[in-house]
Amino acid sequence: SVVVVGSANADLLARTAVHPAPGETVLGRDLAVLPGGKGANQAVAAARLGARVAFVGAVGDDEFAQAATSGLRDAGVDLDRLTVVEGSTGVAVVTVAADGENSIVVIPGANAAVDASLVRRHADLLAGAAVVVLQGEIPRDGVEAAAHLAGGRLVVNLAPVIEVDPAVLRRADPLVVNEHEAHAALRLLDRDGGTGPGVSGELPDDEVVGRLRALGVPSVVLTRGAQGALVAARGLGADGDVVSVPAPRVDAVDTTGAGDAFVGALAGELARGSGLVDAAHLAARVGAFAVRGSGAQPSYPWAGDELP
């Protein structure tokens, strides 16, 4: 089974012609209330494809809790370990202008309660999971506690980047990052080790993943948008143990949540016993599927949907 420890949000999406300037009011066209949050997105992606998934997280006692968890419920994610805390559910207020540019205000709300003491209450579940999945939208000590308690394979998506204990990254198998996050992970590990090579600006991607592994990360998946992903792990048999996994060519409509679709699909496939490269191949196709539709969770495939 897969256990995702992470965030759940209600995303309030307003479409406008232009973003309001400070002090200005603009008219919006319509409002959508969608389930979001990286943790929930990843859990939904894995569950829709058929994985058995449990979610460890928190929502508030307000009206947004239902919106935040509706996608999880529809996908059949086990919510027995969802905690309801006093106060507000995590909310993202998003304005989407006609040019497609987003402005976003994120209110962590109940996600801030997913700390080490909450996570430790689910030690049994974490110890027994085939795969535990973590991201950066909950407190740092919650991530660290979950990494410590994971009994099986640990998938760490350092998104958004938070200053976790480098020991978390050294347990990640794989660490899933985009280019920006990969550089941040290098800085975290380098500071810790002190002896690593200096991190300069423009490193080629295969060099970045090579350095992450040299600094003690067991395996790395670097996502590269339309270019797919690089997979780096011991024993892949290719040059420097790095394999490039292409993404299928699709007409991209909205890349929101594509990275989360990738991570969820990857985790589900690893839990089924696939190897990392095979899992990344599937994840790249699921990511490409997700960019063909708008929004995050609504654009994710179900088992049986034809993937590009």
Q: How far is the CB of 26 from ligand ADP (least distance, A)?
A: 27
How would you list the strands of the sheet with 28-36, edge to edge? 28-36, 9-16, 90-96, 102-107
Is residue 258 part of the contact set for ligand ADP (CB under 6 A)?
A: yes
Q: In degrees, to the nearest 5, what angle opens at C-alpha 22 toward C-alphas 19 and 28?
A: 35
Q: Give CA–CA dist 204/272, Å, rounded.
A: 32
* Helices 64-75 and 38-48, axial angle in degrees (round to 10): 20
Query: Could you give the maximum distance between any two Cα atoms of the chain, in Å?
Result: 58
Could you tell me what percentage of the chain is helix, strand and coil, using 3-state DSSP and rounding each to the nearest 5?
Answer: 40, 25, 40
Stretch that binds ligand ADP, among 17-25, 108-116, 204-212, 218-226 (CB under 6 A): 218-226
* Residue keyed to tokens 């993202």: 92
Is residue 291 part of the contact set for ligand ADP (CB under 6 A)?
A: yes
Q: How far is the CB of 253 from ligand ADP (least distance, A)?
A: 10
Q: Give CA–CA dist 229/210, Å, rounded.
A: 14
Is residue 250 part of the contact set for ligand ADP (CB under 6 A)?
A: yes
Nearer of residues 166 and 259 to ligand ADP, judged by Cβ: 259
280, 299 Cβ separation under 8 angstroms: no
Nearer of residues 161 and 250 to ligand ADP, judged by Cβ: 250
Residues 1-60 touching ligand ADP, rule: CB under 6 A, are none
99 classed as catalytic: no
Q: How far is the CB of 264 from ligand ADP (least distance, A)?
A: 11
Is residue 262 part of the contact set for ligand ADP (CB under 6 A)?
A: yes
Q: How many residues does the chain have?
A: 308
Q: Give CA–CA dist 269/13, Å, rounded.
A: 31
Is residue 64 part of the contact set for ligand ADP (CB under 6 A)?
A: no
Q: In degrees, to the nearest 5, what angle opens at C-alpha 108 toward C-alphas 12 and 81?
A: 100
Stretch that binds ligand ADP, among 24-32, 76-84, 220-228, 230-238 (CB under 6 A): 220-228
Q: Which residue of the set 61, 124, 260, 278 is catalytic?
A: 260
Residues annotated catalytic, as ranges = 260
**Known binding-site positions for substrate:** 9-11, 37-41, 137, 260
Residues that bind ligand ADP (CB under 6 A): 159, 178, 223-226, 228-229, 247, 250, 252, 255, 258-259, 262, 284, 287-288, 291
